[in-house]
């Protein structure tokens, strides 16, 4: 420990020395020596300006050479002194951000002196080597390049343009993304871009005729689907950051059927510009080890700004239910935003600033990532306080004379959002994803502002589902249906909640109501088919899956569901044909892989079953049931160690599942690890004490370990549960006959 601290101190010392020398070399000059381009100005430009201002870069002109700097010297002076450039809105001292682009006062002074004394060149041999900028992909050839469907031509003039381009993810496998590079095609006309993940392709479906040309709009909402899936990242492009690298262990995910949506802000250049954006994706095989989520503070309901109001305040606050590290922040408003504050009040009462922008400018908006994560303990209250200026003195006001402005997606509407990317830390929640608690708090906060917010109700119910509180989830879905009784997706989700709560009858009614309201409600039909299958109503299940396939023949899940129904109907060949169709449409279809594996085992080919199930587990390592099936396939191929590994993983994922513990106990028995086997069997019986077979098995294990009294008690327990349990009776008799030797 001491050694580490010593090394750390030395390294810090070296770093300080290096910085001191570097700074000195730039600034040391005779008192009367002029500031020159070579000595003082080129280093500033190369550090803070040329990332955009290079040939082909996003800046409107280059600042790479002395002639450039001289040509633009007066403008450089003006825009740096006013701090318009480099673009950096956060107030210093109110959040410690990575890639801080704010120029130091000493740099500003050097620029001022250089321009006022005639912009001397100096000896170019003393200038640093100019940086090199790639004209191609920064990280090399991406694993996948997505391109907008058609080129887009921006008109020569007019107001700024906000447009959304859909990039369907074409692959049939899930991939994790460690980095993305956004190439807007014509960076000079793009102010910024946001890349959103549309898990359900909802935006494309909502714009079937124009998504290929881009859809106008400053903001957009996408349907996140019915699953609680809060993994979310800031994927934000601005001119100086073409590549977004995720921190180690935090890749993001793309599934088959997902879309990416590029939300772009253009500024007309004076001539028509045609561009076609590209997104380069870099994959990693390693699934995320850390899963952040985005939280949003807002009060759009309160955004109703009278014409002429100069200091209209909108606030929101939210108490954290868990400890978090804040990784980044994205303040967002439209043209009337003036003063944007984000801060936290810790449980101690201490105020910790997250960001303060005193002079908001939508043209220079950005995501800001903290140099080090900002730790906020549980019970911290997050605050947003935005001030708007809807008077004619606000030069950004799009209306003359000012008019009443409310929340909305158009640029003449207003918005007030503070997004935070947080990573839950220090969690001991017994396997519960802490993001569920964050989601619940967030949605409850929204509902306090608008009790009839159907999206918040739906998301809150989804979070209860994630927590396993199905009764509460069903009640919340019902609450949403009281606002909008015709929402078939909510009815379907309600059916799932009832089903999970053990109320099959109510579940069937909910699914049937959804189907009656919309015969194209595939999810309801699928869930009804699955429920029928689980209750061995095989013919009715088959009917549902076939009904889906009549409407959407390429639905992989319906094919594999039908396969399972046929398997239960003892039609293995027809079942295999359906599994094959499912896997052809989606090679990762879990049911298709699992069903094919069952057939492979039945036909005496467990090795093939292992291949199929290993693939399934690789795609979704959190599916405990799939791991159990893989373990059973390993057992069939005498790979008991691998089977135990899978079952241990399954018990970690679902520690309350008695079956996983019981299976693990049996595998450990086979490998001779009797004490561990006893422990696992005991865990299984703690979770399900009515399992006569389990008590019998525990008795056998106790007897083999010489624990005669415990064995007798276990057999007798089994017989109390099932007096006719033949094996327990035989084992008890054998124990008595052998006088304790089993």
Partner 1 sequence: MGETMRQLCTIAMLLLGWVVAGQAQRYGVNLNGAPVTELVLPGKRVLVLFFAASDCPISNRYLPEMERLQHEFANRGAQFREVYPNPGDTTSVVRQHSTETGDATDIVIDREQSLVEMAHVTVTPEAAVFVRDGSGLHEVYRGRIDDRYLDLGSERPRAFHHDLENAIGAALGNKPVPQPGGPSVGCAIVTRQP
Least Å distance, CB 619 to partner 1, is: 47
Residue 615 tokens read as 């693939």
Cβ-based nearer residue to partner 1, 154 or 322 = 154
200 CB-contact burial (10 Å; exposed 0-12 / middle 13-18 / buried 19+): middle
Q: Between the CA atoms of 481, 486, 490 and 496, what dihedral angle is there, to the nearest 10 degrees?
A: 100
- Residues in contact with partner 1 by the rule CB under 8 A: 60-61, 71-72, 74-75, 78-79, 82, 84-85, 156-160, 268-272, 335, 361, 363, 395-398, 400, 411
Q: Residue 385: name the closest of 339, 318, 334, 353 by CA.
A: 339
Least Å distance, CB 41 to partner 1, is: 17
Least Å distance, CB 259 to partner 1, is: 30
How far does CA 492 lie from the centroid of its chain? 24
Least Å distance, CB 350 to partner 1, is: 35
Cβ-based nearer residue to partner 1, 78 or 618 = 78
3-state SS of 195-258?
Answer: EEEECCCHHHHHCCCCHHHCEECCCCCCCCCCCCCCECCCCEEECCECEEECCCCCCEEECCCC
Cβ-based nearer residue to partner 1, 119 or 685 = 119
Least Å distance, CB 400 to partner 1, is: 4
Cβ-based nearer residue to partner 1, 79 or 302 = 79
Cβ-based nearer residue to partner 1, 217 or 268 = 268
Contacts (Cβ under 8 Å, ≥6 apart) of 514:
488, 489, 491, 492, 495, 521, 523, 524
Least Å distance, CB 395 to partner 1, is: 5
**Please, are residues 16 and 22 in contact by the beta-carbon 8 Å criterion?**
no
Least Å distance, CB 200 to partner 1, is: 33
Cβ-based nearer residue to partner 1, 398 or 572 = 398
Residue 344 tokens read as 């936290």
Q: Residue 368: name the closest of 319, 418, 411 by CA.
A: 418
Least Å distance, CB 178 to partner 1, is: 35
**Please, are residues 563 and 578 in contact by the beta-carbon 8 Å criterion?**
yes
Cβ-based nearer residue to partner 1, 203 or 335 = 335
Cβ-based nearer residue to partner 1, 18 or 84 = 84
**Residue 7: Cβ within 10 Å count:** 10
Least Å distance, CB 357 to partner 1, is: 15
Which pairing describes strands 259-266 and 161-168: parallel, antiparallel, or unpaired?
antiparallel
3-state SS of 452-512?
Answer: CCHHHHHHHHHHHHHHCCHHHHHHHHHHHHHHCCCCHHHHHHHHHHHHHCCCHHHHHHHHH
Cβ-based nearer residue to partner 1, 74 or 131 = 74
Residue 211 tokens read as 């998504």
Least Å distance, CB 341 to partner 1, is: 22
379 phi-psi bin (left φ>0, alpha ψ -120 to 50, beta other): left
Least Å distance, CB 411 to partner 1, is: 7
> What is the distance between the alpha carbons of residues 72 and 76, in angstroms, rounded to a whole number?
6
Least Å distance, CB 385 to partner 1, is: 24
> What is the distance between the alpha carbons of residues 470 and 464, in angstroms, rounded to a whole number?
7
Question: What are the phi and psi torsion angles at 727 (to 5°)?
Answer: -65, -40
Cβ-based nearer residue to partner 1, 26 or 267 = 267
Cβ-based nearer residue to partner 1, 72 or 498 = 72
Q: Residue 560: name the closest of 537, 542, 539 by CA.
A: 542
Least Å distance, CB 45 to partner 1, is: 17
Which pairing describes strands 337-345 and 351-357: parallel, antiparallel, or unpaired?
antiparallel
> What is the distance between the alpha carbons of residues 220 and 194, in angstroms, rounded to a whole number?
11
Cβ-based nearer residue to partner 1, 51 or 411 = 411
DSSP structural state of residue 352 = E
Burial annotation 40-68 (CB, 10 A radius, 16+ → b, else e) = bbbbbbbebbbbbbbeebbbeebbbebeb
């Amino acid at each position: 420990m001491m050694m580490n601290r010593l090394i750390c101190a030395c390294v810090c010392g070296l770093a300080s020395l290096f910085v001191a020398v570097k700074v000195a070399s730039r600034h040391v000059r005779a008192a009367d020596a002029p500031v020159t381009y070579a000595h003082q100005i080129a280093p500033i430009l190369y550090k803070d300006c040329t990332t955009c201002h290079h040939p082909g870069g996003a800046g409107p002109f280059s600042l790479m050479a002395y002639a450039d700097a001289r040509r633009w010297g007066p403008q450089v002076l003006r825009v740096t002194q006013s701090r318009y450039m480099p673009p950096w809105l956060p107030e210093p001292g109110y959040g410690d951000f990575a890639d801080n682009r704010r120029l130091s006062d000493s740099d500003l002074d050097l620029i001022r002196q250089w321009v006022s004394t005639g912009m001397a060149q100096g000896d170019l041999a003393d200038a640093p080597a100019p940086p090199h900028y790639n004209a191609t992909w920064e990280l090399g050839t991406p694993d996948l390049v997505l391109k907008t469907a058609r080129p887009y031509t921006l008109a020569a003039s007019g107001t700024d343009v906000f447009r959304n381009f859909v990039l369907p993810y074409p692959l049939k496998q899930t991939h994790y993304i460690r980095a993305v590079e956004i190439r807007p095609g014509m960076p000079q006309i793009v102010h910024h871009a946001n890349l959103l993940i549309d898990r359900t392709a909802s935006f494309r479906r909502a714009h079937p005729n124009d998504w290929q040309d881009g859809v106008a709009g400053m903001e957009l909402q996408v349907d996140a689907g019915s699953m609680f899936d809060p993994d979310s990242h800031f994927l934000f492009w601005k001119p100086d950051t073409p590549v977004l690298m995720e921190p180690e262990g935090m890749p993001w995910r793309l599934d088959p059927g997902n879309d990416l949506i590029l939300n772009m802000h253009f500024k007309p250049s004076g001539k028509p510009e045609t561009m076609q954006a590209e997104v380069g994706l870099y994959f990693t095989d390693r699934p995320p080890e850390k899963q952040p989520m985005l939280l949003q503070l807002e009060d759009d309901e309160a955004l109703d700004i009278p014409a002429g109001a100069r200091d209209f305040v909108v606030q929101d606050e939210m108490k954290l239910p868990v400890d978090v590290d804040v990784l980044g922040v994205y303040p967002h408003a439209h043209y009337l935003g003036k003063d944007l504050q984000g801060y936290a009040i810790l449980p101690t009462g201490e105020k910790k600033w997250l960001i303060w922008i005193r002079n908001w400018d939508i043209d220079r908006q950005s995501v800001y990532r903290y140099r080090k994560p900002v730790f906020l303990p549980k019970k911290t209250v997050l605050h947003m306080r935005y001030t708007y200026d809807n008077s004619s003195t606000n030069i950004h006001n799009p209306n003359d004379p000012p008019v009443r402005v409310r929340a909305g997606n158009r640029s003449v509407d207003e918005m007030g959002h503070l997004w935070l990317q947080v990573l839950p830390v220090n969690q001991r929640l017994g396997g519960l994803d802490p993001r569920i608690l964050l989601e619940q708090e967030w949605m409850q906060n929204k509902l306090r502002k608008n009790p009839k917010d159907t999206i918040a109700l739906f998301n809150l119910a989804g979070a209860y589902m994630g927590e396993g509180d199905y009764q509460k989830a069903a009640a919340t879905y019902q609450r949403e249906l009281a606002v909008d009784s015709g929402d078939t997706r909510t009815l379907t989700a309600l059916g799932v909640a009832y089903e999970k709560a053990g109320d099959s009858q109510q579940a069937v009614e909910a699914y049937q109501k959804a189907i009656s309201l919309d015969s194209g409600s595939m999810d309801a039909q699928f869930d009804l088919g699955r429920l029928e299958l689980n209750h061995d109503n095989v013919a009715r299940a088959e009917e549902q899956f076939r009904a889906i396939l009549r409407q959407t023949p390429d639905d992989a899940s319906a094919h594999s569901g039908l396969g399972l129904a046929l398997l239960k109907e003892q039609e293995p060949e027809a079942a295999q044909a359906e599994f094959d169709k499912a896997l052809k449409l989606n090679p990762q279809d879990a049911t298709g892989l699992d069903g094919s594996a069952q057939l492979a085992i039945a036909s005496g080919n467990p090795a093939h079953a292992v291949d199929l199930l290993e693939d399934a587990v690789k795609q979704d390592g959190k599916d405990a049931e799939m791991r159990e099936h893989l373990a059973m396939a390993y057992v069939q191929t005498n790979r008991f160690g691998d089977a135990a590994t899978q079952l241990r993983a399954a018990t970690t994922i679902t520690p309350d599942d008695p079956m996983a513990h019981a299976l693990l106990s049996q595998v450990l028995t086979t490998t001779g690890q009797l004490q561990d086997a006893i422990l696992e069997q005991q865990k299984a019986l703690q979770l399900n004490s009515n399992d006569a077979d389990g008590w019998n098995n525990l008795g056998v294990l106790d007897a083999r370990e010489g624990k005669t009294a415990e064995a007798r008690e276990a057999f007798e327990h089994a017989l109390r549960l099932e007096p006719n349990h033949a094996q327990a009776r035989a084992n008890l008799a054998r124990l008595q006959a052998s006088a304790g030797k089993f």
